[in-house]
Amino acid sequence: MKTIVHVNRHKIRANLKSGERDPVLTVKTYKDNRYAHSVLINGPCRVVYSPDKPLSCGARVWIETDSNVEVTEVTHSEEENIPVCG
């Protein structure tokens, strides 16, 4: 299953402003979005820079993989009101 991982710079900025420590990594599959502080990709992956065709959330750099992705301190998009990328 294809997985996309990217850094949410808006969440980094919000954390700096509020002092919160919300997860800033978005882990996206066709089924769901998870948010994490740490991601371990267990296999090959590809880093993509696409300034002319960003993801729908605006991300221009992301990691793509078909390998298993382990995340820590996960929250799901259904539980959070965080913009979803995909």
Position 19 in a domain: yes
Over residues 72-86, the pLDDT tens digits come to 766 655 444 444 454
How many Å from the N-terminal Cα to the C-terminal Cα in the chain?
14
Position 84 in a domain: no
Position 81 in a domain: no
Domain holding 66, by residue range, is: 3-76
Q: If pLDDT is split at 50, 70 and 90, which confidence band does 2 have?
A: very high
Nearest-angstrom CA–CA distance, 50 and 74:
27
Position 43 in a domain: yes
Over residues 25-73, the pLDDT tens digits come to 999 999 999 999 999 999 999 999 999 999 998 999 999 999 999 997 6
The conformation of residue 56, written as its DSSP 8-state character, comes to: T
Model pTM score: 0.80
Q: Give burial (CB, 10 Å; 0-12/13-18/19+) of 35.
A: buried
Q: What's the structural domain count of the chain?
A: 1
